[in-house]
Amino acid sequence: MRRIALIRHGPTDWNAAGRIQGHTDSELSTHGRDTVSRWRIPAELRNYDWHASPLKRALQTAQLLSGGTPTVTAALKEMHWGEWEGKLLTDLRKQLGAEFTENEARGLDFHPPGGETPRAVRARFAKWVTTVTKARQYVLGVTHKGVIRAALSLATGWDMRGAPPDKLRWDCAHMFRIGADGGFCVEYLNISLSATNHVGSATRTDVV
């Protein structure tokens, strides 16, 4: 059995301000670096093959956590939000009203102007999963909220309309498995990154 664990990058100044980052190459904030420095990778995951999104906030997180240099992986890059990068979701909802609400209701086909859809993010992630797991059995990717949501969609069939089937915590690791038949499933969600963590303390999920 092959496994892929995913971790979201640490906090940035734009996260604190509630701004949409997308492909904007923001770095970890001072608070973000302090936060990541307190995270601990569970022993079961430490020898995984490390990959990271090319965006600085993910690369910096991976370097701090691993103490090494991860493989830079374009497929782990955040969803491109186009013209809406740098804006606040609250402002967009006020300014665009029903137009924005209708766009959000499309789920996987939500499409920021000049950006990409969650469906496109899921497709590039799925292609990477197929490629990387041919060479490696255990992979850890430091990535972004949009990619982890896409992974959950791929694993569960969630169409991103309404709430996700499982609540994701963004200061945790999330593990997925690839079965002998190539099926992509959730293994564990919300694996704590506290100093006393271990994979078995996470939420075990067997959704196919």
At 203 the pLDDT is 54
Per-10-residue mean pLDDT for the chain, 208 residues long? 94 97 98 97 93 98 96 98 97 96 97 98 96 84 98 98 95 93 92 73 47
Distance CA 70, CA 67 (A): 9
At CA 90, angle to CA 147 and CA 173, rounded to 5?
A: 25
End-to-end CA distance of the chain: 15
* Cβ-Cβ contacts under 8 Å for 112 (sequence gap 6 or more): 22, 80, 81, 82, 83, 84, 103
Q: Which residues are annotated as catalytic?
A: 9, 78
At 189 the pLDDT is 97
Q: What is the CATH number of domain 2-17+27-80+117-204?
A: 3.40.50.1240
At 208 the pLDDT is 30
Ranges of each domain in the chain: 2-17+27-80+117-204
Give the E-state strand segments of 13-120 in sequence order: 49-52, 71-72
Cα 85 to Cα 9, 116, 148, 205: the distances in Å are 18, 12, 19, 33
Q: Helix (H, G, I), strand (E, B), or coil: what is residue 110?
A: coil
Of the CA atoms within 13 Å of residue 98, those in its CB half-sphere come to: 0
